[in-house]
Structure 1
Amino acid sequence: MQDIKLPYRKKPNRLHKVVLFFLWAAIYYFVIQAVPLMAQIKEKKQLSTDDYSQWSKLWPKKISDKGKWVSYALQYKLHQDTLFVQKTEGDKKYVFPNGSNGVFNQEEWFACLVKDTLVLKNLVSGTTRYTPNVASFFFNSNGKFLLTFLNDRDGRKQLIIKDMQEKVVEIIPNISSWKSDSSGNSIVYCNDRNGQYNVELIKFGKQLSKESIVVDNEVDFQNLVFRENTIAFTQKGKTSTKLFCFNNTTKTLFRYDPEEHDDFPADSRISDSYGSLTLSKDGRRVFFLIKEKNNDSNSDETSVQIWNTEDKQLYSNKKKNGFTPLRDKLAVWWPKDNCMLQITTKERPSAMLNGNYKYALTFDPLAYEPQAKFNSDRDIYITDLSNGSQKILLEKHSGNILTVLMSPNGKFISYTKNGDWWIYKISNGTHTNITRNIGVNFFREDNNTPGEAQMYGNIGWTENDKTVYVYDQFDIWEITPDGTSASRLTHGREKHLRFRVVPLSPEKQFAESLLDFNTRSFCSQEKLLLEAYDKRTETVGYYVWKRKIGEKVVVPLNGKRSHFMKTAKSEAFVYMEQTYEQAPTLVFQANSMVKPKVLVKSNPQQKNFNWGKSELVNYEVNGEIIRAALYYPAKYKKEQKYPMIVQIYERQSHYVNDYVNPSVYEQGGFNITNFTTQGYFVLLPDINYKFGDPGESAKICTIAATNEIINRGLVDSLRIGLIGHSFGGYETDFILTKTNKFAAAVSGAAWTDLVSTYFSIGESYLKPEFWRFEEHQLRIGKSFFEDMSSYIRNSPILNAEQITTPLLAWSGQKDRTISYHQSIEFYLALRTLKKKHLLLIYPNEDHAVVNEHNQKDLTERISEWFGYYLKSEKRKKWMDANNP
């Protein structure tokens, strides 16, 4: 055999050896590094309904005074809700399964309830104390004492007061009611000690002090109210109810007994109902209610009902809510002079108080009934409580309660009229239009209902009622009450940003009583925290405004931001941010100059699953550009065309940055993420309306938006579904009578017959449904007798024969907003016409489905309905006729 000669191979020189060494080293390094990297890149999973239970909702709760600690909750549908306390520096964290009502005591303590057990955690040492059978608790303002109310007999409470070293300093049994002052420095309570009824006051300082206000051996005290240095309460005796007022500064107790006063209305008594007392801030006036004895406006259930067309109040409303002229009357008592004045009457039974509670505004809410507005117009009178004199303030003014607001110091009343803000000066009775010459609109420019446009807002006054702050579309304006000076404080219009004040303290968010329509009070030199919103991108951020400097960015705009909380004693703050693709995240900053720190990102398991994305899209209708929110299917591929669900209501593009947990527990059966992870596009178009044609407007916008997505080559035009609930359900039904564009549809709790709806009484408010058509959502803008043709052509039921789309409808049998009979009517029409239609009636549900079993049932059926018609999935048995 011939020898085989190998090709000649030149020996490598030194340079070749070096090159080969580094080449092999690089290959070795790449292989070694790539193996774990490849192991890390796992194929993401397809989300299934079994995975939904992993998702939670993040709720920011509290931040401690100096910002060392933050509490937040994660809430689950099928798992245990959990309250967390986390240190803002480092990773220290405490967990409270089923915890609620969490409160920090300075930087050292945190307390919360786990069912009826109080859990007290020392945040420094980590030690924990438990107290069972607790109804409520709170720390006093200086943090030295913990007050715990234990459940006692007959609904009463036992109060245990301990210092923070666990020493019991006071035990008070049989408490029937209690109130703390706004500062948290003292508490007043009513209790029973062996048949002796007491009202007592406890003050908290370095030590605890207690004093008795009044004692009685026969009758209990109740209905406490505590404001500043004044306490008021009632005592219901055998023949009358007495009124008491205690001045905590002078230690003087005043008493008013109606039986000792000839000017008290005959056959009446003082009401002892909860919340019936109100105190002026200076403590000089106590407002209370007078109830007529034997005032029973409800007739016998078996007696004949008398419905009179000249009645100002519908019989059904009168039956449920009582006859308005006979409601309890408001009165005021001056404890020092021991005299009273009745404020409201049968002729004008409703009232509100001015800022310093020295004047009352009264009106008759039924004055212009019958009419078509939800809130009837009213003539408003102003009463000087010092002498009882009255005069007309506003004639036939809007019934919207927020159109009349009080300055905090009581000097002025602001109100809206003909698209402007007006100021009434109480001292001289003058009316001034303060916005007429400014040149911008202070009422919603995008108002899209026939009713009166809503004002952007009057947020408050500077000290001593010097100037008033009002909003336009973008900015905050400061205007003097005589209208001679107006300045724009922010520069949102140039930046296309809407600036709004974020209240940081409770007193700037909540009224003292139902009679209180005061706006906020601001120091003219104080900083204002502002929320900045860019409608073009649906993003939110935060600014701080200072006089002479203007607004300055604190948190840049990006995605959706909310739940801003600032500390009381530092510059630290937290907020929550999210997008559709990024789960809600809690972010902390020690101040605006430092880098944000993520404290917790909810739903970290999302990274293991395929997930969609969202974007804003534009579409055109009659030359106008309108927006929609578009959601892409998970694991989207450009070369593929997908089915799509179009969900309609009104304007919805602002939801584009909302994170949506996948869930089968939906009140309307629709969930964006469920569908995107099942391989659908989801489209939420904005809809612009032409008055008199709500259905046609919805049809034009919905089809235009749908065509825009089809023309982009994203979806299969033969596999598009339509869904809506309530007004969206009405729109869905109407659209199906005008087009066969949609392969399947779902309509929930829908109006189907506008004529019968117009002539019905809404069970939610027991008012005629006229207002929904003439000034609200259904947008006809005229009465039935003024424009019959609009009611007829916009009624889906009258065009039901045109429907070719398979329709699944649902309703709650106890729906008080839209009667389920509307769905029954449509079902009968489609049944007669032999159309493909299924109707689900949930017997114990209202307008939205709240029972979790029913939520799951509805959500799954809607998914199966669209799965069958849009994705050719297997038909479910429940869809077939003649099931048992």
Structure 2
Amino acid sequence: MRPPFVTAALLALTSPYPLVAQPTSTSRPLVTPKDYGRWERLVNPVLSANGEWVAVPINRVDRTAELRVYSLRTAADTTPVIAGEGRDPVFTEDSRWLAYRIGQSEAERTRLEKEKKPVRDGAGVRRLDTGATTTFTGIRRFAFGGSRYLALLEYGAERKGDPGDPDSAVQSADLIVRELVTGTEMRFGNVTDFAWQDSALFLAMTIETPDRAGNGIYLYTPRTGQLTVLDGSRERYRGLAWRKDGDDLAVLRSRDVNGWEQPTHEVRVWRGLAKTPRASRFDPRGAPGFPEGMRIAEHRVLSWSDDGQRVFFGIQEWFTKPDTTAKDSTRAQGGGDEPADVEVWHSSDQRIIPMQRVRKEQDRQATYLATGNLASGRFVRIGTDLQENVTLLEGQRHATETDGRPYRFENMFDTPRRDVWLVDLASGDRRKAVEGVWYFHGASPGGRYLLYFHDDRFHTYDITTGARADLTGKLAAIFVNQDADWPVRRQRRSWGVGGWLDKDAAVLLYDRHDVWAVKPDGTGGVRLTQGAADSVRHRMVRLDPEAKSFDPAKPLYLELYGEWTKRFGYGRLSLKGAAPQGAVRRLVFEERRISQLAKAKRAEVFTYVIDDFDDSPDVFAGGPELAGARQVTRTNPFQADYAWGRSELVDFACATGKPVQGALYYPAGYQAGRRYPMIVYVYERLSQGVHRYVVPDERSAYNITVFTQNGYFVLEPDIVYQDRRPGTSAVGCVEPAVQAVLAQGLVDSERVGLVGHSWGGYEASYIPTQTSIFATAVAGAALTNFFSMFGTVHWSGGFRETSHFETGQARTDVR
């Protein structure tokens, strides 16, 4: 992990050399701490579906924010509409409206908290063609209903919950339903939750009144104004779930049972609400096979099968209430003293006591996935272990569950190994599909194949036939990640999986540089890209977040990264079936960082972000060719008023002879011929960040821009590790990196400092014991005593620190 903030002043405190900003060769001033607050960070841009608008959230160092909305209709539209403290923008499907959250600046939040007033967000909605804007105060959540309505749920009165009933603190509040064009509003009281049906024909609401007499589930039809009570009782309703693209609704209704802690639930269902509604329920009391001593819990979101025949929910153990009438003799036996707390540690525990404490709330809400057939009432339990992963396959006829219990001991000392079980959701039958696999990559989008990586090769399991296939054993490529240097005893991870083609026609697999389309039955594969020739890494880009696979009839976009040039960009490839139709066309590929490629849902409009160390990130928009895109935003334009540094790559070889690189950042206002002090920041591999723009910020960790503004060169060298020799590996890379920079005559060899945090802190502690090239070193949260640390427990995660050594970055597994 990258660390918390340490200022350059810390280096000055430990160095015999003063930290003094160097004068610049121009009249432009340096950036000082009083200037930091105005600097802007660009957050993820959001495109409208028709590609005519882009909303760009901006966060500043002073913790203020705004939302900038740009028109992309013509190149002349360059002035954004600005919404102060705007966040989380959402466009309607017809791209005519924009809604957003209105937050509070840090200063305002602090003021409200000091005055013991609630800190509450608001919301805004804007008609894009006219600019008409309406704002609302005190809005907890909002959601569009199609392109015609907006629902806004206000904050309710603050409640103190009953510790034994977590849902007693649920807020009921007013819900506003606004027709966007007319501005007409309907208001409903005591609403705890709401959910739009996909086409916005209906809005479902759960209601909870203070005395629970008016509790129920209500259905509002906004086009007619009709309000229908679907169900009413003194119980609680939660977990509204509409079937995708349908008019079927499900909800959980609580049921208290004497003698048991917390309620169980029934699943209430209404089908065909647009025509002839039919109500039914799934009641665990009458469901064959429903386990004794368990309940349907509220902590898992309800969901539907595609065919509408099943609902999925979570179950968990149900505990009886303790007998509070029994006399407690503990205190009397202890002479009246308060009883001591006792922790019982047991060797059979899956997790040690500190981790159990840390994850207490997660454990309270953990559930086993289960399903109920609405027609037959048949119950099938899918999940059997709360610590394992359960996944529904496409079509919801099967599910998978991983099981690491047979390998629990060996998993403490190696990459976790698991069996994969296949569950038939109709019968509940389970069969072991894959045994003892280290890397399970899930099921194909069509639900037919399970994909896993084993013995340095990808394999599939065919659910329909039970056949297994080796996909990559005969292909002329290496799919195991040679750069993965954390300790493993048997299986390193692969380079990854890029996705699947439609209809499970092929799976897209990565080697170091290229993408392969491989048939899932093991009958062959073809390399789609040719990145190895010039060390350019190709990776798939998923432009449609809703698509589960890639359509081979449409152009495929790929992310490009030059391993040695540090060029970034995007390319495009056309397929004929599962084979490449020509080479990858490099659309944009530059010595700058190019990222966040996005496409409008219903238009051939693309956006991406470009930045460099001396060039603030900006959004560019254009057509499918990407090149020639126009700049839309202009963040931090005032940077031009200040002196700034630049960055470049440094090539060197570690002591082992392995060639690597480092990122070198120049002092702001650098003057040729002058020798400067240098800070060397170490972690693992860092040269890939050479084009990253770094906003100056006192609360940002080991800030490169702050260092360069204070007259320092900054070097971030790559470190590659020899097996079980982390310290000497770091020395063997860092020292040659420093020497490579010193050889250029840029840096004063007497004023070189070393900084690292966490794992880098260990390196910053160890390296100075082996070399005298550093005048000083700063080690933050350093790992320094490997003997004692091996037996400790992580301060916040609650896990044994043995994993840091056996399978983690300390790379000193015991053999």
Structure-2-length-normalised TM-score? 0.82
Quote the residue 2:355 is aligned against: 317
Shift of 1:309: 3.4
Change (3 A) 1:387 1:626: same
Quote the residue 2:465 is aligned against: 428
Bigger RCO (CA 8 Å, 6+ sep): 2
Secondary structure of 1:129 counterpart: strand
Larger Rg: 1
In structure 1, the gaps of 5 or more residues are 1-40, 509-519, 787-884
Secondary structure of 1:605 counterpart: helix
Quote the residue 1:503 is aligned against: 542
Quote the residue 1:552 is aligned against: 585
The whole-number CA distance in structure 2 between the counterparts of 1:432 and 1:777 is 34
The whole-number CA distance in structure 2 between the counterparts of 1:280 and 1:530 is 33
Quote the residue 1:566 is aligned against: 599
Structure 1 counterpart of 2:525, which letter?
A
Shift of 1:480: 1.6
Secondary structure of 1:367 counterpart: helix
Change (3 A) 1:553 1:157: farther
Secondary structure of 2:99 counterpart: strand
Shift of 1:568: 2.1
The whole-number CA distance in structure 2 between the counterparts of 1:131 and 1:348 is 42
Q: Please state if 1:171 is matched with 2:187.
A: yes
The whole-number CA distance in structure 2 between the counterparts of 1:488 and 1:440 is 9
Structure 1 counterpart of 2:549, which letter?
S
Task: Verify the 8 A CA contact 1:60 1:576 in the aligned structure 2.
Answer: no
The whole-number CA distance in structure 1 between the counterparts of 2:90 and 2:769 is 56
Change (3 A) 1:186 1:747: farther
The whole-number CA distance in structure 1 between the counterparts of 2:564 and 2:385 is 51
Change (3 A) 1:684 1:183: farther
Deviates more, 1:746-755 or 1:144-153: 144-153
Task: Verify the 8 A CA contact 1:47 1:677 in the aligned structure 2.
Answer: yes
Change (3 A) 1:662 1:247: same
The whole-number CA distance in structure 1 between the counterparts of 2:721 and 2:614 is 31
Change (3 A) 1:747 1:190: same
Q: Please state if 1:734 is matched with 2:734.
A: no
The whole-number CA distance in structure 2 between the counterparts of 1:687 and 1:422 is 33
Structure 2 counterpart of 1:306, which letter?
V
1:608 alignment partner, one of 630, 635, 641: 641
Secondary structure of 1:383 counterpart: strand
Task: Verify the 8 A CA contact 1:160 1:168 in the aligned structure 2.
Answer: no
Task: Verify the 8 A CA contact 1:356 1:410 in the aligned structure 2.
Answer: yes
Change (3 A) 1:107 1:763: same
The whole-number CA distance in structure 2 between the counterparts of 1:176 and 1:375 is 44
Quote the residue 1:382 is aligned against: 422
Change (3 A) 1:166 1:691: same
Task: Verify the 8 A CA contact 1:539 1:560 in the aligned structure 2.
Answer: yes
Quote the residue 1:354 is aligned against: 393
Shift of 1:302: 3.7
Change (3 A) 1:474 1:772: same
Secondary structure of 1:707 counterpart: helix
The whole-number CA distance in structure 2 between the counterparts of 1:325 and 1:135 is 25
Quote the residue 2:33 is aligned against: 49
Aligned positions, number: 722
2:233 alignment partner, one of 217, 222, 231: 217
Give runs of aligned pairs for residues 41-440 of structure 1, distance below 5 A: 43-78=27-62, 80-88=64-72, 89=74, 90=76, 91-105=78-92, 106-115=94-103, 116-141=121-146, 143-153=147-157, 155-168=171-184, 170-181=186-197, 186-192=202-208, 195-201=213-219, 207=223, 212=228, 214-228=230-244, 229=246, 230-239=248-257, 240-248=264-272, 251-261=277-287, 263-273=289-299, 275-294=300-319, 302-321=340-359, 328-345=367-384, 351-371=390-410, 372-373=412-413, 376-398=416-438, 403-440=440-477
The whole-number CA distance in structure 1 between the counterparts of 2:590 and 2:226 is 52
Task: Verify the 8 A CA contact 1:196 1:215 in the aligned structure 2.
Answer: no
Quote the residue 1:712 is aligned against: 744
Structure 2 counterpart of 1:232, which letter?
A
Q: Deviations over 1:25-80 (max 9, x none)?
A: xxxxxxxxxxxxxxxx9722233222222321122422223332222132212263
Quote the residue 2:111 is aligned against: none
2:671 alignment partner, one of 637, 641, 656: 637
The whole-number CA distance in structure 1 between the counterparts of 2:667 and 2:592 is 20
The whole-number CA distance in structure 1 between the counterparts of 2:136 and 2:319 is 46
Q: Please state if 1:663 is matched with 2:697.
A: yes
Deviates more, 1:495-504 or 1:477-486: 495-504
The whole-number CA distance in structure 2 between the counterparts of 1:417 and 1:405 is 14
Shift of 1:736: 2.0
The whole-number CA distance in structure 2 between the counterparts of 1:443 and 1:296 is 53
Secondary structure of 2:632 counterpart: strand
Structure-1-length-normalised TM-score? 0.76
Deviates more, 1:417-426 or 1:633-642: 633-642
Q: Deviations over 1:238-295 (max 9, x none)?
A: 224212233347743321222234532222221122x243332332222222222218
Shift of 1:599: 1.7
Task: Verify the 8 A CA contact 2:398 2:423 in the aligned structure 1.
Answer: yes
The whole-number CA distance in structure 1 between the counterparts of 2:365 and 2:139 is 41
Task: Verify the 8 A CA contact 1:312 1:370 in the aligned structure 2.
Answer: no
Structure 2 counterpart of 1:434, which letter?
L
Task: Verify the 8 A CA contact 2:753 2:777 in the aligned structure 1.
Answer: yes
Structure 2 counterpart of 1:653, which letter?
S
Secondary structure of 1:633 counterpart: coil
Change (3 A) 1:166 1:581: same
Quote the residue 2:7 is aligned against: none
Shift of 1:495: 4.5
Task: Verify the 8 A CA contact 2:552 2:574 in the aligned structure 1.
Answer: no
Secondary structure of 2:29 counterpart: coil
Shift of 1:541: 1.2
Q: Deviations over 1:149-184 (max 9, x none)?
A: 233456224332222333426433322222345666
Task: Verify the 8 A CA contact 2:218 2:229 in the aligned structure 1.
Answer: yes
Quote the residue 1:647 is aligned against: 681
Q: Deviations over 1:828-848 (max 9, x none)?
A: xxxxxxxxxxxxxxxxxxxxx
Change (3 A) 1:255 1:190: same
Poorly superposed stretches of 4+, deviation over 6 Å: 322-327, 346-349
Task: Verify the 8 A CA contact 1:646 1:723 in the aligned structure 2.
Answer: yes
Quote the residue 2:782 is aligned against: 750
Shift of 1:528: 2.2
The whole-number CA distance in structure 2 between the counterparts of 1:492 and 1:521 is 23
The whole-number CA distance in structure 1 between the counterparts of 2:653 and 2:585 is 36
| Percent identical | 28
Secondary structure of 2:447 counterpart: coil
Secondary structure of 1:449 counterpart: coil
Structure 2 counterpart of 1:131, which letter?
F
Task: Verify the 8 A CA contact 1:587 1:596 in the aligned structure 2.
Answer: yes
Quote the residue 1:801 is aligned against: none
2:513 alignment partner, one of 474, 488, 493: 474
Change (3 A) 1:559 1:653: same
Q: Please state if 1:767 is matched with 2:799.
A: yes
The whole-number CA distance in structure 1 between the counterparts of 2:492 and 2:129 is 54
Shift of 1:717: 1.0
Q: Please state if 1:536 is matched with 2:524.
A: no
State the Cα RMSD in Å.
3.0
